[in-house]
């Protein structure tokens, strides 16, 4: 495999496909496609008399069990796109649909994990994981059952009673992930969730997240500045360019291994990995901005 032999989707090709999809979903809530569909998402902010065009006609279709990594230089609009999918920000144009239904505001269908865990400091790990379930009116016994399943999934059984200040950074992020997963969202959005962690913890988190995805098969959408992380985790890798934010590359990761025990170190040492890494780094650098 060489970087140039990759099957890619350019923004134009992708945009054209999204336009077809948009025209096949004429009114609100009438579509039936499974997964998450973004059609022609644009966003312009007003700054005084200036218009800042942040996103331009982003089209994306995400399968219900997709693991997508989004790369791009700082300021290209990655977090803004995530905020639109989360329903926190309304786009100036275009639409987000989940299983064909128009999605315009935050709902339990979309879970978000941020760079910092933002756990409730007065609640234990179990209390944090149960919180969303309590808000959803789920009874105590069922809450406990669901929380204990997800706490086990992230490997925090022994720390379920601990308060956030008694956890390491990686444990906090795992608790935040369990809290997000407990409400069983259709898509889990992650905005650089490991960037505040040291290298070893980060690698261990990557393995955790990979295993959790394999066991839950939800749609995971992960923003990262780390090309290696995207290559190790993403079944699909998307690259954005800035000014305005557009998708310039959308590839199925040929190195993706859907196995129980992926060996990241062996993968990292391969020539294919180095070639594809170089290709992605050049793609990002091609935007004229810096990236790690």
Ligand X SMILES: Nc1ncnc2c1ncn2[C@@H]1O[C@H](COP(=O)(O)OP(=O)(O)OP(=O)(O)O)[C@@H](O)[C@H]1O
Shortest spacing between CB 45 and ligand X, in angstroms: 4
Residues 6+ apart with CB under 8 A from 223: 69, 70, 78, 79, 82, 190, 191, 192
C-beta of residue 9 within 8 angstroms of C-beta of residue 16: no
C-beta of residue 11 within 8 angstroms of C-beta of residue 248: yes
Minimum CB distance to ligand X smaller for 80 or for 173: 80
Shortest spacing between CB 138 and ligand X, in angstroms: 33
Shortest spacing between CB 277 and ligand X, in angstroms: 19
The count of other CB atoms within 10 Å of the CB of residue 246 is 23
Shortest spacing between CB 133 and ligand X, in angstroms: 30
Minimum CB distance to ligand X smaller for 77 or for 132: 77
Minimum CB distance to ligand X smaller for 79 or for 124: 79
Shortest spacing between CB 70 and ligand X, in angstroms: 9
Shortest spacing between CB 76 and ligand X, in angstroms: 4
Minimum CB distance to ligand X smaller for 75 or for 155: 75
The count of other CB atoms within 10 Å of the CB of residue 96 is 22
For 53-97, give the secondary structure using H, E and C: EEEEEEEEEECCCCEEEEECCCCCCHHHHHHHHHCCCCCCEEEEE
State the Cα–Cα distance between residues 266 and 275, nearest whole angstrom: 15
Residues at the contact surface with ligand X, assessed by CB under 6 A: 45, 47, 52, 54, 72, 74-80
Q: Token pair of 102, please?
A: 């128009």
Minimum CB distance to ligand X smaller for 164 or for 242: 242
The count of other CB atoms within 10 Å of the CB of residue 29 is 9
Minimum CB distance to ligand X smaller for 115 or for 148: 115
């Amino acid at each position: 495999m060489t970087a140039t032999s990759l099957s890619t989707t350019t923004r134009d090709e992708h945009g054209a496909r999204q336009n077809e999809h948009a025209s096949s979903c004429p009114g609100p809530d009438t579509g039936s496609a499974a997964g998450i569909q973004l059609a022609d998402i644009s966003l312009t902010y007003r700054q005084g008399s200036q218009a800042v065009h942040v996103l331009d006609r982003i089209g994306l279709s995400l399968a219900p069990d997709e693991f997508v990594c989004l790369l791009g230089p700082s300021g290209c609009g990655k977090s803004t796109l995530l905020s639109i999918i989360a329903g926190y920000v309304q786009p100036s144009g275009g639409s987000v649909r989940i299983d064909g239904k128009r999605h315009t505001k935050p709902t339990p269908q979309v879970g978000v994990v941020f760079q910092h865990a933002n756990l409730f400091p007065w609640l234990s790990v179990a209390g944090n994981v149960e919180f969303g379930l309590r808000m959803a009116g789920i009874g105590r016994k069922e809450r406990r059952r669901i929380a204990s399943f997800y706490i086990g999934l992230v490997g925090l059984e022994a720390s379920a009673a601990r308060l956030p200040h008694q956890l390491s950074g990686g444990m906090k992020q795992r608790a935040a992930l369990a809290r997000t997963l407990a409400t069983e969202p259709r898509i889990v959005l992650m905005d650089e969730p490991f960037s505040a962690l040291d290298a070893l913890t980060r690698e261990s988190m990557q393995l955790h997240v990979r295993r959790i995805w394999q066991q839950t098969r939800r749609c995971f959408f992960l923003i990262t500045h780390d090309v290696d992380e995207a290559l190790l985790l993403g079944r699909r890798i998307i690259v954005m360019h800035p000014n305005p934010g557009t998708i310039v590359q959308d590839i199925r990761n040929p190195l993706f291994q859907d196995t129980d025990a992926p060996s990241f170190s062996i993968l990292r040492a391969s020539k294919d990995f180095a070639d594809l890494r170089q290709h992605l780094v050049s793609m990002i650098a091609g935007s004229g901005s810096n990236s790690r």
